[in-house]
């Protein structure tokens, strides 16, 4: 016995006719009769009987009618409540962004969301990539916008935007004359990079290893602006991203792109795999992908 059967049964009780009840609920009369027969067989009691004036409800049917009206009403209220929860556009949404990511996105991406959904309290946090993943896994935030690659075993992900890394070469270094650079050109250089808490750190090292050498990293930091400043002081070759090189301009520092187009700074939206995603998470995800 299920809710659909009870709803069919109550319609027959209401109309005292299989044909009229069938029209009301948009089902064939044969289909309705079969559903009621199945219900009677399951309960092992007759619910209706035929007379010269049409069908009549049995005492068992009257009892079932009285009990099932409340059950069906409660079920409809539950369903209504669930639908309201799914469609509601208010509440609190906690998001973390990896350091530097917001600079790469549209400056009004957060303000536009707040303007469109004024009843949503948006809590924004910023962390290194590895911490972003950690707080998503621990369910301390609803979602994160971080840098790939993403561990697909633990997270659902969607790429929002890709940027191109570059090296920062002081004019005193002969590499500054190049327009593009191969990883093989960098074997004997000293590097200034983001620290181990950023995927960009590991991505750069892996590319150097593919080119046949281990990079000589002389300084790591959590702030990309420090990479530009140290490159300005000629303390090594900085590894940065194209959009940051446009924003932080030192006349004596030359940003040079990598020839390897597979080396990217990929911005990904991530959520915990197998965690229920609220309507607010779905709305924000759509906002980010469409902005």
Whether residue 182 sits in one domain with residue 232: yes
**Residue 86 pLDDT:** 61
Q: Which two tokens stand for residue 43?
A: 């309960």
- Compute, in degrees rounded to 10, the torsion defined by CA atoms 165, 160, 155, 261: -30
Residue 181 and residue 252 share a domain: yes
Confidence bin at 53 (pLDDT 50/70/90): confident
275 and 142 together in one domain: yes
Instruction: Give the pLDDT score at 256.
Output: 97
Question: Could you read off the pLDDT of 73-117 as tens digits, one per residue?
Answer: 999 888 877 766 666 677 899 999 999 999 898 878 999 999 999
Range of the domain at 178: 165-263
Q: Which of 87, 119, 152 corresponds to the end of one domain?
A: 87
| 79 shares a domain with 23 | yes
pLDDT mean across residues, the chain: 92
Q: How many domains does the chain have?
A: 3
Tens-place pLDDT, residues 179-226: 999 999 999 999 999 999 999 999 999 999 999 999 999 999 999 999
Beta strands in the chain (DSSP E): 48-51, 54-57, 91-98, 120-127, 143-147, 155-163, 165-170, 190-194, 216-221, 237-241, 253-257, 265-272
Domain boundary among 37, 66, 87: 87
Last residue of a domain, one of 69, 87, 105: 87
**Cα 86 from chain centre:** 16
Residue range 264-290, pLDDT digits in tens:
999 999 999 989 888 899 999 999 988
Strand partners, 94: 123
């Amino acid at each position: 016995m299920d809710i659909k059967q009870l709803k069919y049964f109550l319609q027959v009780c209401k109309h005292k006719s299989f044909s009229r009840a069938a029209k009301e609920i948009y089902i064939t009369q044969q289909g309705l009769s079969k559903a009621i027969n199945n219900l009677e067989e399951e309960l092992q009691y007759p619910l209706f009987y035929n007379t010269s004036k049409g069908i009549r409800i049995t005492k068992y049917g009257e009892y079932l009618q009285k009990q099932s009206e409340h059950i069906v009403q409660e079920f409809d209220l539950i369903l209504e409540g669930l639908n309201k929860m799914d469609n509601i556009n208010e509440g609190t949404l906690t998001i973390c962004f990896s350091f530097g990511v917001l600079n790469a996105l549209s400056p009004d991406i957060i303000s536009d969301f707040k303007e469109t959904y004024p009843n949503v309290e948006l809590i924004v946090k910023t962390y290194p990539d590895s911490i972003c993943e950690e707080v998503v896994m621990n369910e301390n935030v609803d979602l994160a916008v971080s840098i790939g690659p993403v561990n697909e075993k633990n997270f659902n992900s969607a790429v929002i935007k890709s940027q191109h890394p570059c090296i920062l070469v002081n004019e005193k270094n002969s590499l500054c004359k190049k327009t593009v650079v191969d990883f093989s050109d960098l074997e004997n250089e000293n590097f200034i990079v983001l620290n181990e808490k950023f995927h960009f750190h590991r991505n750069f090292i892996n590319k150097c290893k593919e080119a046949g050498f281990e990079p000589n990293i002389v300084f790591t930091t959590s702030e990309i602006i420090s990479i530009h400043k140290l490159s300005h002081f000629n303390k090594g070759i900085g590894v940065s991203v194209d959009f940051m090189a446009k924003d932080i301009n030192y006349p004596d520092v030359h940003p040079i792109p990598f020839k390897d187009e597979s080396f990217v700074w990929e911005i990904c939206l991530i959520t915990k795999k197998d965690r229920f995603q609220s309507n607010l998470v779905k709305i924000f995800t759509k906002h980010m992908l469409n902005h």
